[in-house]
């Protein structure tokens, strides 16, 4: 027989159940990313300040190299390239596929854009901005072409996204190396790098962040306020139902991969401006990192689920991790390990979230 001290206080069990249910709803609605991002920022802030018992928390935060404006600017610039690619990757994931060629698209864009720009600059050295525009158009067109071929293969030829994008990744990488012979492309107009790579709006906001902000706005409108955006979600949610409802699923599958290639190509040109060279080896880690950013943000690998602003936060998170580890003087090789672990944990969290979502609906 339970004694008064052993018995739970009246109303405690219902309160606990209510709290548990609220936490489950919060996890389903918000996901793990906001909490993970906050924890990461706090940990790296303290690690970058050599925090110890003799120094208070607020003093450690004030002294931390992680929270300086220079580092915030650096992180935002580095994260902007991945953010653009992750937004493109999100389109492929929403339709139930993915794009493994985004890294190659960056390389192809960089190489062909730089080569065209250099060729035009040699012919017309007195018109640098004309050469820059031609180079940008050439690079973005080359990258977008890979996205178009991916879309045609997946939507109209019925090739699986895995095989199609993996094959195009190999083709694009080979073309980039053939074009350059493995040697970086130099000789672009200085104005290209000065404005798009190192320029700042109002003296504070890096140019890559400005470009990323414009793309975020366009993508937000497309996904949330246009028929195309609704169709992307519908196709990923249930392809057969979308087809039976009259949606031209092949067309919108094609558009998803074509848009992914175009957005990634824009990122490739902005990154080329920062590097001041056309590189065939850049973008190697972009497929893994872009998928990780999307999955951490709650974009389902099964398609039909995901929010753009969370993808932006996911890309920022992926950008923060190596930056914080560098400031904390952690081995650079461990950064690859950490990204892999984060991706695995994100997939596990996504599976748990899907189960909870199904459970709460019942």
Domains, the chain, ranges and CATH?
75-361 (1.10.3470)
Tell me the sheet residues that pair with 185: 278
For residues 339 and 293, give the distance between their C-alpha atoms in angstroms, rounded to a whole number: 10
DSSP secondary structure letter of residue 206: E
For residues 131 and 70, give the distance between their C-alpha atoms in angstroms, rounded to a whole number: 32
pLDDT at 305: 83
Nearest to 169 by CA among 184, 147, 138, 151: 147
pLDDT at 315: 92
pLDDT at 268: 94
For the chain, 362 residues long, the average pLDDT of each consecutive 10-residue run is 52 68 71 79 76 59 74 88 95 93 94 93 91 94 95 94 94 90 88 89 88 95 94 92 91 96 95 90 88 86 87 90 81 76 76 74 66
For residues 31 and 305, give the distance between their C-alpha atoms in angstroms, rounded to a whole number: 12
Q: Which three-class secondary structure state does DSSP give residue 248? A: coil
Q: Which three-class secondary structure state does DSSP give residue 24? A: helix
pLDDT at 13: 66
Burial 206-228 (b: 16+ CB within 10 A, else e): bbbbbbbeebbeebbebbeeeee
For residues 151 and 42, give the distance between their C-alpha atoms in angstroms, rounded to a whole number: 41
Q: Which helix (H) or strand (E) holds 205?
A: strand 205-206
pLDDT at 303: 84
pLDDT at 63: 67
pLDDT at 51: 58
For residues 338 and 296, give the distance between their C-alpha atoms in angstroms, rounded to a whole number: 13
Stated pTM of the model: 0.86
Burial 283-302 (b: 16+ CB within 10 A, else e): beebbbbbbbbbbbbbbbbe
pLDDT at 119: 92
Q: What are phi and psi of 4, to 5 degrees?
A: -60, -35
Q: How far is CA 207 from the centre of its chain?
A: 18
């Amino acid at each position: 027989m339970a004694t008064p001290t052993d018995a739970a206080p009246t109303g405690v069990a219902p309160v606990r159940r209510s709290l548990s249910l609220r936490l489950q709803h919060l996890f389903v609605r918000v996901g793990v990313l906001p909490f993970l991002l906050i924890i990461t920022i706090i940990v790296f802030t303290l690690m970058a300040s050599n925090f110890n018992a003799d120094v208070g928390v607020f003093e450690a935060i004030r002294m931390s190299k992680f929270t300086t404006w220079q580092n915030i600017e650096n992180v935002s610039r580095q994260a902007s390239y991945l953010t653009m690619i992750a937004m493109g990757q999100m389109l492929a994931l929403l339709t139930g596929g993915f794009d493994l060629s985004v890294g190659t698209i960056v390389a192809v864009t960089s190489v062909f854009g730089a080569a065209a720009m250099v060729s035009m600059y040699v012919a017309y050295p007195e018109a640098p901005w004309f050469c820059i525009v031609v180079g940008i158009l050439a690079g973005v067109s080359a990258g977008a072409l890979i996205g178009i071929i991916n879309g045609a293969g997946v939507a109209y030829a019925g090739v699986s996204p895995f095989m199609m994008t993996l094959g195009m990744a190999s083709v694009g990488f080979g073309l980039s190396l053939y074009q350059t012979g493995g040697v970086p492309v130099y000789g672009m107009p200085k104005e290209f790098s000065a404005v798009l790579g190192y320029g700042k709006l109002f003296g504070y906001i890096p140019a890559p962040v400005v470009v990323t902000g414009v793309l975020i706005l366009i993508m937000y409108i497309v996904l949330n306020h246009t028929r195309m955006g609704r169709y992307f979600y519908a196709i990923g949610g249930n392809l057969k139902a979308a087809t039976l409802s009259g949606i031209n699923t092949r067309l919108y599958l094609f558009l998803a991969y074509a848009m992914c290639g175009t957005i990634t190509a824009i990122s490739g040109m902005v990154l080329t401006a920062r590097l001041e060279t056309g590189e065939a080896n850049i973008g190697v880690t972009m497929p893994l990192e872009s998928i990780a950013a999307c999955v951490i943000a709650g974009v389902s690998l099964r398609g039909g689920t995901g929010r753009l602003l969370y993808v932006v936060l996911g890309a920022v998170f992926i950008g923060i991790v190596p930056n914080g580890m560098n400031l904390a003087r952690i081995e650079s090789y461990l950064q690859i390990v950490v990204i892999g672990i984060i991706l695995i944990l994100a997939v596990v969290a996504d599976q748990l979230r899907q189960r909870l979502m199904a459970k709460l609906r019942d």
